[in-house]
């Protein structure tokens, strides 16, 4: 297999993994008679989950045809998009049902997936804050702090999505969650800062 064919297959598979769940959610019969704001909020959540697959691939320079510098630039751009998706997701749910969002934020909701979603939201904000403070942090502290928060974001988001029986569809949801976990675990395992951290503890 030539590098060009391999690259095309990888990009095609990634496009399917990212776009498939969004397409399934957008055409779900569960959205019939729903308010446009609610639909936008739900789709924003699916897009945010898709970003969690793309982000580690970019951070690790694993996408063919993209150099590390360009990958990191796109990584920052997608990170902003992830923040917007979270804000649209939570904001849309607030508009459609403020009491449910208040219960979620105060961890008094009767639905267990709400608490995981709130933890994922705050961890996302914290990871973004660490990224914004990167110039003031040492490379080791930045990588350790940012990657630890990202791990929390991915784990809690996957649990949040897994507990929801919603528009994504079972197969597409579990496929995207598994890929996001695998990609994140791969990149975090490759980070030199973790090896240094464990070596110092030993």
pLDDT score of 93 more than 90: yes
Q: Residue 193: its pLDDT value, please?
A: 54
The predicted-structure confidence for 136-170, as pLDDT tens digits, reads as follows 998 888 988 999 999 999 999 999 999 998 888 88
Please report how many Cα atoms fall inside a 13 Å half-sphere around the Cα of residue 195, on the Cβ side.
Answer: 5
More confident residue, 201 or 76: 76
| Token couple for 87 | 């804000």
Q: Which of 95, 96, 92, 122 is nearest to 107 (CA)?
A: 122
- Predicted structure pTM score: 0.90
Write down the mean pLDDT value for the chain. Answer: 90
- In contact, 184 and 151? CB cutoff 8 Å: yes
Domain ranges of the chain: 19-201
Q: What is the pLDDT of residues 94-138, one digit of tens each?
A: 999 999 999 999 999 989 899 999 999 999 999 999 999 999 998
Percent share of the chain, pLDDT over 70: 94
Q: What is the pLDDT of residue 195?
A: 59
| For residues 58-68, average pLDDT | 89
Of 156, 168, 158, 181, which is closest to residue 46 (Cα–Cα)?
A: 168
pLDDT confidence of residue 7: 85
Closest CA to 21 of 177, 184, 182: 177
Judge whether 130 and 123 are in contact, CB under 8 Å: no
3-state secondary structure the chain: CCHHHHHHHHHHHHHHHHHHHHHHHHCCHHHCCCCHHHHHHHHHHHHHHHHHHHHHHHHCCCCCCCCHHHHHHHHHHHHHHHHHHHHHHHHHHHHHCHHHHHHHHCCCCCCHHHHHHHHHHHHHHHHHHHHHCHHHCCHHHHHHHHHHHHHHHHHHHHHHHHCCCCCCCHHHHHHHHHHHHHHHHHHHHHCHHHHHHHHHHC
């Amino acid at each position: 297999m030539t590098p060009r064919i391999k690259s095309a297959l990888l990009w095609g598979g990634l496009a399917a993994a990212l776009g498939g769940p969004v397409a399934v959610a957008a055409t779900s019969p569960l959205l019939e008679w729903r308010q446009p704001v609610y639909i936008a909020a739900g789709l924003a959540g699916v897009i945010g989950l898709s970003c969690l697959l793309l982000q580690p691939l970019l951070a690790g320079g694993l996408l063919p045809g993209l150099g590390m510098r360009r990958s990191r630039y796109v990584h920052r751009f997608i990170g902003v998009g992830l923040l917007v998706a979270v804000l649209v997701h939570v904001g849309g749910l607030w508009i459609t049902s403020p009491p449910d969002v208040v219960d979620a934020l105060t961890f008094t909701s009767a639905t267990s997936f709400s608490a995981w979603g709130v933890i994922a939201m705050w961890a996302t904000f914290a990871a973004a804050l660490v990224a914004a403070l990167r110039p003031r942090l040492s490379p080791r502290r930045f990588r350790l702090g940012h990657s630890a928060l990202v791990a929390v974001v991915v784990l809690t988001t996957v649990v949040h999505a897994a507990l929801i029986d919603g528009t994504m569809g079972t197969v597409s949801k579990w496929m995207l969650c598994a890929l996001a976990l695998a990609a994140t675990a791969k990149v975090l395992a490759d980070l030199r800062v973790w090896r240094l951290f464990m070596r110092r503890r030993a």
